[in-house]
Structure 1
Amino acid sequence: MSVTIAHTAVVDPRAQLGDDVRVGHFCLIGPHARIGTGTQIENHVTIMGHTTIGENNHIFPNVVIGGEPQDLSYQGSPTQVIIGDGNVIREGCTINRATEKEDGITSIGDHCYLMAYAHVAHDCRLNDRIVMANNCMLGGHVHIDHDAILSGGVAVHHYASVGAYCFISGLSRVKQDVPPYMLAEGSPARPRTVNVVGLKRNDFSNDEIRVITEAFKLYYRRSVGVAETRQRLLNSGPIQPSLLRLLDFLEHQTGGKNGRGRDRRKAA
């Protein structure tokens, strides 16, 4: 198989393109780009900086990947964007490369779907099978775990984390961490209930859903705290790994700043 590059595209000869890569009209691909086999790049796409894109991705028009972070402290170091396999990145999305504040990588996993005009800021980490609907905005250093869904217009505060199998309702403003398995909504967003539909679709057992629901009621409705929730549930029956992940997330969240477990920054 061979690479197909439209005659109006500008691809630096130092860029590394795998077999069967297709580059559409008026694209610009810089010298430090590495693009895996079978990736399709439609027209007017810009790939900048030290950007690695895996196999069989589909990148739609006017996407910009690897632009400088929108962070005033950035001094031009060769930070990266790393994107996995099988992702769909729709029109107008922007994915910025990292700063030097963590490990220098903005990353997206496998089989994610980013709808039009979504923004992934510097130092974000997205796991696998994440859906971000139109106009979602992630601040810097946001982490989103696998199989989470963000509806249209969701804005996530920098350093916030969204747990696995979450569903965030449209136009929500996420200022604090959202624990795994929750359905969150509002401005600011709060966990409103367990994402039962999402859990069933991902083959969670009835026992798992029941114990996660009980944890939600104890922690959010009765406000008994993490330690008491953990004690009651772990003493009441078989221990589900999903329950342990939820309790560990809640415990970590309480140690952070303003409800964000990863935000351990000190005031200057």
Structure 2
Amino acid sequence: MQIHPTAIVEKGAELAAGVSVGPYSVIGPKVRVGEGTIIHSHVVIQGSTELGRNNQVFPFAMLGGPPQHLAYKGEDTRLVIGDNNLIREHATMNIGTVHGGGVTRIGSNGLYMIESHVGHDCIVGDHVVMTKQATLGGHCLIGDYVIVGGLAAIHQFCRVGRYAFVGGLAAVVKDVIPYGSVWGNHAHLEGLNLVGLKRRGFDRETINTLRAAYRLLFADEGTFQERLDDTAETFGDSPEVMEILEFIRADASRPLCLPEREV
């Protein structure tokens, strides 16, 4: 363990073997840091915050701050961060609220670029990339391998499915299907995240199946419910297509990002 003489590690904090704390960083009394994690200079980690193994936290990041919510009254809620994340300069991640389950949870192997923000009670998956100044409002559910472009903002309670891509400057106020790609203010569905699927090793047959299912699901003919049923019947053997349909059906009260219709 390496703790710089100017760092403040308050009594009660638990730091595992191999943890490094840089100059002028402040670690609160309820913080737990896993083995091999590197905390660079001028980092503040407070509240009931747990970091897993081999994370790197860069200068001026603020982890475990109180939720930006008027109903918060100082309750002992938590922030839980997985392993192998890069949390860059000025990134912020807040603890949860008692109204939202009490925990903000970050997965593993993510990249959280400069000034990105994860709000209270968010659940963020593994291998997520949040680009410069990307923002999650409270209670967002972000699937594995999602990329959120620079300056994009995702509204509270929104769901973004696995492998989806949110373009830079997008204002996302509706749910984004798995494998989808959304752009604009307000964001609309532009198609599938084909670049991301190819980079992640999805084969040509799977991608072609997804494209065919997308065309059927978002066609002009029939009602959306009819198209859901038709897509399930036609592509029921595809786990990727069924993941999209299950995502949509999981919360019928949530609005969905849809393609723009030509006038």
Correspondent of 1:61 among 59, 62, 76: 59
**Any conservation in 2 of the 1:219–1:225 contact (CA below 8 Å)?**
no
Structure 1 residue 26 displacement after superposition? 0.5
Correspondent of 1:48 among 24, 46, 49: 46
Partner of 2:234: 236
Partner of 1:264: none
Partner of 2:260: none
**Following superposition of structure 1 onto structure 2, how do residues 202-213 of structure 1 map, counting pairs within 5 Å?**
202-213=200-211
Tell me the TM-score normalized by structure 1. Answer: 0.92
Correspondent of 2:156 among 146, 155, 158: 158
Correspondent of 1:125 among 103, 123, 126: 123
Structure 1 residue 84 displacement after superposition? 0.3
Partner of 1:99: 97
Partner of 2:145: 147
**Any conservation in 1 of the 2:176–2:256 contact (CA below 8 Å)?**
no
Partner of 1:23: 21
CA distance, structure 2, for counterparts of residue 70 and residue 170 of structure 1:
24
Cα pair distance change 1:234/1:124, threshold 3 Å = closer
**Any conservation in 1 of the 2:89–2:113 contact (CA below 8 Å)?**
yes
Structure 1 residue 251 displacement after superposition? 2.2
Partner of 1:256: 253
CA distance, structure 1, for counterparts of residue 214 and residue 63 of structure 2:
38
Identity rate of aligned residues, in percent? 37
Cα pair distance change 1:201/1:224, threshold 3 Å = farther
- Stretch of structure 1 that moved more, 200-209 or 75-84: 200-209
**Any conservation in 1 of the 2:217–2:231 contact (CA below 8 Å)?**
no
- Say if 2:84 is the partner of 1:86: yes
Partner of 2:7: 9
**Any conservation in 2 of the 1:208–1:243 contact (CA below 8 Å)?**
no
Counterpart AA for 1:215 = A
CA distance, structure 2, for counterparts of residue 163 and residue 257 of structure 1:
13
Structure 1 residue 110 displacement after superposition? 0.4
**Any conservation in 1 of the 2:114–2:133 contact (CA below 8 Å)?**
yes
**Any conservation in 2 of the 1:10–1:27 contact (CA below 8 Å)?**
yes
Partner of 2:168: 170
Query: After superposition, what is the alpha-carbon deviation per residue over 1:164-223, rounded to whole angstroms, capped at 9, x for unaligned?
Result: 001111000000000000111010111111111211222223232122212222233426
Partner of 1:263: none
Structure 1 residue 258 displacement after superposition? 4.2
- Stretch of structure 1 that moved more, 232-241 or 167-176: 232-241
Structure 1 residue 252 displacement after superposition? 3.0
**Any conservation in 2 of the 1:226–1:251 contact (CA below 8 Å)?**
no
Cα pair distance change 1:73/1:223, threshold 3 Å = farther
Counterpart AA for 1:250 = I
Correspondent of 2:110 among 107, 112, 135: 112
CA distance, structure 2, for counterparts of residue 223 and residue 126 of structure 1:
35
- How many residues are aligned here? 257
State the superposition RMSD in angstroms.
1.6
Cα pair distance change 1:224/1:211, threshold 3 Å = farther
Structure 1 residue 237 displacement after superposition? 5.6
Cα pair distance change 1:52/1:230, threshold 3 Å = same
Tell me the TM-score normalized by structure 2. Answer: 0.93
Partner of 1:266: none
Cα pair distance change 1:224/1:217, threshold 3 Å = farther
**Any conservation in 2 of the 1:165–1:199 contact (CA below 8 Å)?**
yes
Counterpart AA for 2:139 = H
Structure 1 residue 250 displacement after superposition? 1.8
**Any conservation in 2 of the 1:142–1:157 contact (CA below 8 Å)?**
yes
**Any conservation in 2 of the 1:226–1:247 contact (CA below 8 Å)?**
no
